[in-house]
Amino acid sequence: MDERTFWGMVALAISFTTLVLGVLYAAGARGDEGAPPPPPLWVEPEETYSYTCHCHRNPVHITIPSRQVPRILGRGRWLP
């Protein structure tokens, strides 16, 4: 094997290794990116409305923040 072939194979090996490491880095799991930060200690926990739906084989427990529960005023007007 001459010197030119040797350096060509070294360049290809380095390029392939860099490509593989780049793909593995891009595909790596970053678990905390989408998670919201924890609330500060002085913040009160939000009130929630919870119920259990028994319309399936296994009961489904549903929890909704109180600010998202639709409310109706008198005469059928919706509150925001």
- Whether 40 shows a pLDDT value over 70: the answer reads no
Please check whether residue 39 is in contact with residue 48, taking contact to mean a CB–CB distance below 8 angstroms: no
d(CA 22, CA 24): 5
Q: Could you read off the pLDDT of 5-22 as tens digits, one per residue?
A: 999 999 999 999 999 999
Cβ atoms 50, 59 nearer than 8 A: no
pLDDT at 58: 84
Q: What are the pLDDT digits (tens) for 47-77?
A: 777 778 887 788 888 887 777 766 665 565 5
Name the pTM for this structure.
Answer: 0.38
Nearest to 47 by CA among 63, 62, 60, 70: 63
